[in-house]
Structure 1
Amino acid sequence: MGQLIVRGLDDAIIQALKQRAARKGRAAEAEHRALLEEALRSEIETFAEAAARLRARTPPQVSDSADLVRRDRDRNHLKADA
């Protein structure tokens, strides 16, 4: 996991972060992480979304891995017979 250093924050912002964290019973760093995740969650592609995007790019004739194995086997048999 990466790290993020934020410099130049107004002291009032830092104090508000600490107070918010205390109200929620967590450390300021954990609250900072939660705020960033909440703010950016909609911009992060989930695994399911990435999988759906890649499936949409897969040619329609390929339905599953068994089809790929079968085609490869058939192609190898044709080469062996030639």
Structure 2
Amino acid sequence: MAQVLVRNLDDAVVARLKRIAERENMSLEQKFRDMAIREANAAEERFQRVAERIREQTRGMALDTTAMIREDRDR
């Protein structure tokens, strides 16, 4: 498994995260892991929504690449 070192975090932020982790009965390290997983999953979901929207917008469009290649060669 990979390791990540996060530098220059504000002490107040770390203290707040420690309190949150304690209230949730977990370590600060586990809290960071959970936050990283949540963010990575959310980013993937955002990408999937955008990709689906683009697929819907371009559905049924025909793209004749042969004509494009000929046009480019004729330049």
User: Whose radius of gyration is greater, 1 or 2?
Assistant: 1
TM-score with structure 2 setting the length: 0.54
Matched residues, percent identical?
Answer: 33
Cα-Cα RMSD: 1.9
Deviation at 1:44, TM superposition (A): 4.8
Which digits, 9 at most, give the CA deviation of each residue in 1:37-75, with x for residues without a partner? Answer: 111113359xxxxxxxxxxxxxxxxxxxxxxxxxxxxxx
Matches within 5 A, 1:3-82: 3-44=3-44
Please give the alpha-carbon distance, in whole angstroms, between the structure 2 residues aligned to 1:42 and 1:9: 23
Unaligned runs of at least 5 residues, structure 1:
46-82
Unaligned runs of at least 5 residues, structure 2:
46-75
Q: How many residues align?
A: 46
TM-score with structure 1 setting the length: 0.50
